Structure 1
């Protein structure tokens, strides 16, 4: 699915940054940008919009108030300098709430939530798309990773390594906890403070390690119970 996006922000620099990041993701199409909520209201009347990147504190009409004017609002990711509107934003069913200055990593994490929604719809409709994909920032590029190709993920200091079928490991500057929050929990399991594995790849396990083919990965003691429970559920 291509998500048609509208960016609404009265700060030109912020608007350009969001537009730049959006154009790096093939599933996002920026159809328009607006510097105030009233222009956005008029635009939405005539155009289909799937996702809005929305500032909050704008002249005349707050972003949160703007969303309340819409009978059927699109999905919304708020991007603002003000943390105090977060509760109100999530009451409006926001996908995410991002604080300025906006980093590419944080933007990508929010966008992957949207992509995951699309993946979940696909999972219900077709077995061929049930694993989906995510995007990661690598050397200033947005790299698409098919989840079904992941062998395992390893934490290395302040980076992660994503091991894939027939490919060299992908080094990403991101924490393991951050990546874990992006992955579908029914498909991926953390088994160690430094490792996440896709459950469909596990060929055997003991109290001490997991086998993925010929690869042995250690299990942390606190994670073994969850792995055993998962195995019993699938028996």
Structure 2
């Protein structure tokens, strides 16, 4: 069971989240709070796996509440304001839900949290990442083999997977989450907007990586790291 705690200063939002939680069999609601200061006290005492946290609240905002926690649980931000998205991902939250969000979007956030919790709980010698990703694209679930991925491009709240055979998939996801989930021996974050498959890179031209006919920029200051990770033994020149 995944232990859930809800924090929102609006009763309607709390009640909706509670109704969503009750529809998922392996979720357990261990508490909910409307007042952020009282929520902070309870969060530090309750065994919590996943926290659904509103951002705009009186006295103490959700992002500041999160910053005060020494050992925070996994967090999903819930808010009516899109402008907090960048800071949310800087705080390494699991997901960012814009109100009003449907049950389907709630469930997607829960699935992300489940994957992260499973990875944490897996034994050290067990593989924590499968050899494929399941992507929700145009209402369908697409199975994409890691070996087929050429590179991944960030498109604000979405990402675009470019794969062999001229296949492309656009899905709601963040590069930050993918960077954590994908095996680092196979993929590298080379730019704020790009993750590349190491074995698909054919050349380095200045600060541009070549994958087929596509050129992908390397972030300033990452060139040495990229060379060491992708072009082993070539040095930093």
The interval holding the TM-score normalised by the smaller chain is 0.5 to 0.7
* Partners of 1:22 and 1:59 in 2: CA distance: 25
Do residues 221 (structure 1) and 220 (structure 2) align?
Answer: no
122 and 49 in structure 1: CA distance in 2 versus 1, 3 angstrom threshold: closer
TM-aligned CA deviation for residue 10 of structure 1: 0.9
Structure 2 partner of 1:24: 23
Structure 2 partner of 1:63: 62
For residues 150-161 of structure 1, the aligned pairs below 5 Å read 159-160=139-140
Question: Does the CA contact (< 8 Å) of 1:22 and 1:29 recur in 2?
Answer: yes
Question: Does the CA contact (< 8 Å) of 1:3 and 1:29 recur in 2?
Answer: yes
154 and 73 in structure 1: CA distance in 2 versus 1, 3 angstrom threshold: closer
For residues 49-198 of structure 1, the aligned pairs below 5 Å read 49-121=48-120, 124=123, 159-160=139-140, 176=141, 186=146
Structure 1 partner of 2:2: 3
TM-score normalised by length of structure 2: 0.55
TM-aligned CA deviation for residue 153 of structure 1: 9.9
100 and 72 in structure 1: CA distance in 2 versus 1, 3 angstrom threshold: same
Question: Does the CA contact (< 8 Å) of 1:123 and 1:131 recur in 2?
Answer: no
* Partners of 2:129 and 2:71 in 1: CA distance: 29
Question: Does the CA contact (< 8 Å) of 1:8 and 1:55 recur in 2?
Answer: yes
154 and 107 in structure 1: CA distance in 2 versus 1, 3 angstrom threshold: closer
* Partners of 1:77 and 1:23 in 2: CA distance: 17
153 and 116 in structure 1: CA distance in 2 versus 1, 3 angstrom threshold: closer
* Partners of 2:148 and 2:118 in 1: CA distance: 18
**Unaligned ranges ≥5, structure 1:** 133-151, 161-175, 191-219, 230-235
Measured against aligned partners, the alpha-carbon deviations of 1:152-197 in whole angstroms (never above 9, x if no partner) come to 9998xx543xxxxxxxxxxxxxxx4xx66xx8x65x979xxxxxxx
* Partners of 2:10 and 2:84 in 1: CA distance: 18
Structure 2 partner of 1:206: none
62 and 153 in structure 1: CA distance in 2 versus 1, 3 angstrom threshold: closer
153 and 29 in structure 1: CA distance in 2 versus 1, 3 angstrom threshold: closer
TM-aligned CA deviation for residue 73 of structure 1: 1.3
**Runs ≥4 residues deviating over 6 A:** 129-132, 152-155
3-state secondary structure, aligned to 1:46: coil
**Unaligned ranges ≥5, structure 2:** 150-163, 168-196, 201-237
* Partners of 1:79 and 1:45 in 2: CA distance: 20
User: Number of matched residues?
Assistant: 158
* Partners of 1:101 and 1:22 in 2: CA distance: 16
45 and 9 in structure 1: CA distance in 2 versus 1, 3 angstrom threshold: same
TM-aligned CA deviation for residue 222 of structure 1: 2.1
130 and 71 in structure 1: CA distance in 2 versus 1, 3 angstrom threshold: closer
